[in-house]
Amino acid sequence: MISKLTYAERETAFAIALATLVGGLALGIAGRNDVLGWQGVIVVVFAIAVLRPLMSSYYEPPVAEDRKVTYYDDPTKVGIVLAMVWAVFGMFMGVWVASQLAWPELAFDGAWSSFGRLRPTHTTGVIFGFGGNALIATSFHVVQRTSRARLAGQISPWFVLFGYNLFCVLAVSGYLMGITQSKEYAEAEWYADLWLVIVWVTYFILYIGTIARRKEPHIYVANWYFMAFILVVAVLHIVNNLALPIAWGQAKSYTIWPGVQDAMVQWWYGHNAVAFFLTAGFLGMLYYYLPVRAQRPIFSYRLSILSFWGITFFYMWAGSHHLHYTALPHWVQTLGMTFSVMLLVPSWASAGNALLTLNGAWHRVRDDATLRFMMAAAVFYGLSTFEGSFMAIRPVNSLSHYTDWTVGHVHAGALGWVALITFGSIYTLVPALWKRERMYSATLVEVHFWLAIAGTLVYVFAMWNSGVIQGLMWRTYTGEGTLAYSFVDSLVAMYPYYIARAFGGLLFLVGVLVGCYNIWMTIASAPLAASEKTDAPLLPIAVPGE
């Protein structure tokens, strides 16, 4: 990989990695009397891990490569591997915390291993580690193909990828040490947040630069979603994380948003992290890999437009449905509910567009587990967006809120939609990137598919049951007009479902391990494919007579 860089590019890469190392050192020294110091050490170790391979092949002769006629896929390859590593980590943490709810002694009396500290390592590991790496990797791949142009940078893709992973490592290691802002899905502290801003701005410049190089007049729909994902996540991240550190040498900061305003900002962020990270980005994936795998064009261009702008506009209003019946003013709750219900239209337009694209290719869905992953993802997307709109209705929310129903809903989306579309895309992408004829084993893809489906269903049904039972027990009155159940009664009723949920999660994790093995074996030993000449950027056509 390093051999493909020119000497000048290696110098730049070296300088950036060295600057990161120095930054880590500075953080370590400034924070020597605080847990922040250990975060500095982690930055230094990370920078050394990047510097080592760079230094060892620094003077190797550069491999001649005609960049005009090739795509740049090395960052995508590494991104996919990292996504799978994070998937295993994040889902293992998920199974562990789920088991702690059934068997609390599994925290082993440690500070770092108690539920409250592990829970964000699961959410960050899965959403940002697994999901984020998958999005970065696939967006690099998709933007090049749909623009028929090479990535607009040789070093910046690596900076985005490794810089992003450094953010994830800082965040997750921080939680274990007790560093957290407690903002859900934005727990990382100020220094990590600032670092992510630098990485993300680079990502945006790289992406828009590549689109500017395009040889196609139109920007393809997948890129609309990836652009919305990059742009809006930047806005959400910055606004939600505005905070004042108590000192430059300490990890702790206080958010600038107080009380009720903080609640609104947090859920404006939180719900749109779902919208623009977990929905828009992955719709970008769907709009490219589903038609490619099905070998059918997208069903409707108009539906694509409708759903894209509907999602971009409506979602930003929906966050306040997380705050029904709270101290947030009623008018904001009502707006949130209204737009959440309207969101069903663009959401189902997307899901319908995906499923109708499969018309004429249903025999492939039957035979090809990879395409079936994507089909199932579209179905779960449709189901969970319906459920989301339903749960946003105030009286429904009075039952579902604070219960496991919400957790079940999130996992219907995260496992059923996000993870399945990612696996479908990865199984499409891996043979193409490593120039293999096919995946190492189609049977193992099939096994993974059924483990994933079984795991998701067990999980979601367990949480539906526990959530509804819990919600009903809290509001059940006796004939005398007193509350029928104590809180502990409702907790005791949850135990069987907590065990079932942990089992469902375990099935899903085993599926991922099967997938990792299959990907590993594909890279190591699947037969090479005959070279495809068409997978290259378009050259400017010389017009005769010019």
Partner 1 sequence: MAELLHRKLERSAVGFVIAIIAAASVGGIVEIAPLFTIDETVESAPDMRVYTPLELAGRNIYVREGCYACHSQMIRTLRDEVERYGPYSLAVESQYDRPMLWGSKRTGPDLARVGGKYSDFWHVAHLINPRDVVPESNMPAYRWLATTILRTDDLPKHLAAQQALGVPYTQEMIQNAARDAYGQATPGSDFTDGVTERYGEATQISAFDGVTTQVTEMDALVAYLQVLGRLTDAAHGNAAEATSASAPAP
d(Cα 314, Cα 81) in Å, to the nearest integer?
A: 34
d(Cα 135, Cα 151) in Å, to the nearest integer?
A: 15
- The reply to whether 116 sits near partner 1 by the rule CB under 8 A is yes
Q: Which residues, 6 or more positions from 109, have their beta carbon under 8 angstroms from its beta carbon?
A: none
- The reply to whether 29 sits near partner 1 by the rule CB under 8 A is no
- The reply to whether 120 sits near partner 1 by the rule CB under 8 A is yes
d(Cα 512, Cα 490) in Å, to the nearest integer?
A: 33
What is the residue whose two structure tokens read 């996919």? 80
- The reply to whether 64 sits near partner 1 by the rule CB under 8 A is no
Residues 498-527 that bind partner 1 (CB under 8 A): 498
By CB under 8 A, name the one of 14, 38, 58, 115 that touches partner 1.
115
Taking the least distance from each CB to partner 1, the nearer of 247 and 529 is: 247
- The reply to whether 464 sits near partner 1 by the rule CB under 8 A is no
Residues 264-283 that bind partner 1 (CB under 8 A): 264-266, 268, 276
Residues 216-235 that bind partner 1 (CB under 8 A): 217-219, 224, 227-228, 231-232, 235
d(Cα 68, Cα 284) in Å, to the nearest integer?
A: 25
Question: Which stretch in 80-88, 357-365, 381-389, 469-477 sits in contact with partner 1 by CB under 8 A?
Answer: 469-477
Q: Which of these, 74, 218, 89, lies nearest to 153 by C-alpha position?
A: 74
**Count of residues of this chain found to bind partner 1 when the rule CB under 8 A is applied:** 100
The first and second tokens of residue 322, run together, are 């997380």
- The reply to whether 307 sits near partner 1 by the rule CB under 8 A is no
Beta bridge partners of residue 458, listed in sequence order: none
Q: Which residues, 6 or more positions from 220, have their beta carbon under 8 angstroms from its beta carbon?
A: 146, 147, 287, 288
- The reply to whether 325 sits near partner 1 by the rule CB under 8 A is yes
By CB under 8 A, name the one of 81, 102, 341, 499 that touches partner 1.
102
Residues 381-400 that bind partner 1 (CB under 8 A): 395, 398-399
b/e string for 202-239 if b means 16 or more Cβ within 10 A?
Answer: bbbebbeebbeebeeeeebbbbbbbbbbbbbbbebbee
Q: Give the amino acid at 249.
A: G
- Which string of x and - marks every residue 146-185 that binds partner 1 (by CB under 8 A)? -----------------------------x--xxxxxxx-
**DSSP-assigned letters across all residues of 226-293:** HHHHHHHHHHHHHHHT-EEES-TT-S-EEES--HHHHHHHHHHHHHHIIIIIIIIHHHHHHHHHHHHH
Least distance from C-beta 303 to partner 1, angstroms? 12
By CB under 8 A, name the one of 474, 499, 517, 536 that touches partner 1.
474
- Which string of x and - marks every residue 326-365 that binds partner 1 (by CB under 8 A)? xxxx--x--xx--x--------------------------
Taking the least distance from each CB to partner 1, the nearer of 320 and 422 is: 320
- The reply to whether 538 sits near partner 1 by the rule CB under 8 A is no
Does an H or E element contain 391, and which? helix 369-391
- The reply to whether 312 sits near partner 1 by the rule CB under 8 A is yes
Residues 396-435 that bind partner 1 (CB under 8 A): 398-399, 401-403, 406-407
Taking the least distance from each CB to partner 1, the nearer of 32 and 52 is: 32
Least distance from C-beta 192 to partner 1, angstroms? 16
Question: Which stretch in 9-17, 59-67, 73-81, 95-103 sits in contact with partner 1 by CB under 8 A?
Answer: 95-103
Taking the least distance from each CB to partner 1, the nearer of 329 and 360 is: 329
Taking the least distance from each CB to partner 1, the nearer of 391 and 452 is: 391
Least distance from C-beta 222 to partner 1, angstroms? 12
CB 18 within 8 A of CB 11: no
d(Cα 246, Cα 227) in Å, to the nearest integer?
A: 35
d(Cα 531, Cα 233) in Å, to the nearest integer?
A: 38
Phi, psi of 286 (to 5 degrees): -60, -45
Least distance from C-beta 197 to partner 1, angstroms? 17
Taking the least distance from each CB to partner 1, the nearer of 335 and 383 is: 335
**DSSP-assigned letters across all residues of 439-487:** -S-HHHHHHHHHHHHHHHHHHHHHHHHHHHHHHHHHH-B-TTSSBS--H
Question: Which stretch in 124-132, 215-223, 347-355, 526-534 sits in contact with partner 1 by CB under 8 A?
Answer: 215-223
Least distance from C-beta 198 to partner 1, angstroms? 19
- The reply to whether 293 sits near partner 1 by the rule CB under 8 A is no
By CB under 8 A, name the one of 32, 68, 366, 475 that touches partner 1.
475
d(Cα 171, Cα 93) in Å, to the nearest integer?
A: 14
Question: Which stretch in 19-27, 190-198, 313-321, 351-359 sits in contact with partner 1 by CB under 8 A?
Answer: 313-321
d(Cα 55, Cα 369) in Å, to the nearest integer?
A: 42
